[in-house]
Amino acid sequence: MKRLLLLAAAVTAMAAQAQSFPGPKPITIVVPFAAGGPTDRVARDLAEAMRKPLGGVILVVDNAAGAGGSIGANKVAKATADGHTLLLHHIGMATMPTLVRNLPFKVETDFEYVGMVNDVPMTLIGRPSLPASNYKELTAWINENKGKINLGNAGIGAASHLCGLMFQNALKVDMTTVPYKGTAPAITDLIGGQIDLLCDQTTNTTSQIEGKKVKAYAVTTSKRLTTPALKDLPTLNESGLKGFEVTIWHGLYAPKGTPADVVAKLNVALKAALKDPDFIKKQEGLGAVVVNDKRVEPAEHKKFVAAEIAKWSPVLKAAGVYAD
């Protein structure tokens, strides 16, 4: 009897929580990379676009950067499951399970999937003082400078790491990788000439390319992009790296155990945000494409992440790069 009463009280409490969600306190979106970078950009625009559909609650961004995105993801996996702490992550959700040996959480079971956000191309960029002005000249420069080239990334498991790894494998050239807490500090060092190359999302590189602050060599998608600042860039595939394709994506997650009604409310708000003309315009201007309602469905996104883990796992195992 006592157990039944306790159970009834717990169910009532959960129903009340869902009804009152969101409460008056802000919702925190944890970004597992440094402020000012590509994932941070998406999170901040999303925070603004989700505010109205969530009844005006404030959404703040918390940059819990480091270890290729696993520190921030772990923070959310262990957070209170009340819908007030969320994680915005990218393809790292699919690379971490293979790359990080002692990952302190499970991507498949420690989160409630709120939904997918967007697809984002990447670009290969270089320091402004690099003598090569197009991809052909870049390959010649790489061949002449083997053993001396520094390639930045946001740590093992980050999108920039995956893209850089694929690039080195395709060229069969080893570069010295320099890990940062995000590609915001990496791009600052690239502009300053401390590193030579970086593979990074268009949500970070578009304005730098437009402002001619960096040298841009290619896009990593299979087709050229239509964004005005990027439309003249060749694909790596057409430039000689046959079959090269890295497109990344973002998804929104809550800690495991977040009540189903709360996740459903967050999913509805996410869908509304992805239809907000302002958000769409901002994303398109940065080369990103928001996904349709079907792909925003939590179950659909979960299936997609599982397929991405299966797709990248053999590639990463073959490359033999691991973090502890």
Q: Which residue lies nearer to ligand ASP by CB, 39 or 220?
A: 39
Please report, as residue ranges, which positions from 246 to 305 form the binding site for ligand ASP (by CB under 6 A).
none
Q: Which is nearer to ligand ASP, 118 or 153 (CB)?
A: 153
Q: Which stretch binds ligand ASP (CB under 6 A): 36-44, 93-101, 165-173, 205-213?
A: 36-44
CA–CA distance, 287 with 219 (Å, rounded to integer): 11
Looking at 75, 90, 127, 265, which residue binds ligand ASP (CB under 6 A)? 90
Residues 28, 29, 38, 279: which binds ligand ASP (CB under 6 A)?
Answer: 38
Candidates 57, 81, 154, 273; binder of ligand ASP (CB under 6 A) is 154
Which of 118, 177, 183, 220 forms a contact with ligand ASP (CB under 6 A)?
183
User: At its nearest, how many Å lie between ligand ASP and the CB of residue 182?
Assistant: 3
Residue (202 or 258) nearer to ligand ASP, CB? 202
Which C-beta is closer to ligand ASP: that of 38 or that of 126? 38
Nearest approach in angstroms of CB 154 to ligand ASP is 3
Give the nearer residue to ligand ASP in terms of CB position, either 45 or 200.
Answer: 200
Among 28, 74, 95, 201, contact with ligand ASP (rule: CB under 6 A): 201
- Please name the residues in contact with 278: beta carbons below 8 A apart, sequence gap of 6 or more: 49
Using rule CB under 6 A, residue 195 touches ligand ASP: no
For the CB of residue 71, give the shortest distance to ligand ASP in the complex, in Å.
Answer: 13
Given 18, 27, 30, 34, the residue binding ligand ASP (CB under 6 A): 34
Residues in touch with ligand ASP (CB under 6 A): 33-34, 37-39, 90, 153-154, 158-160, 182-184, 200-201
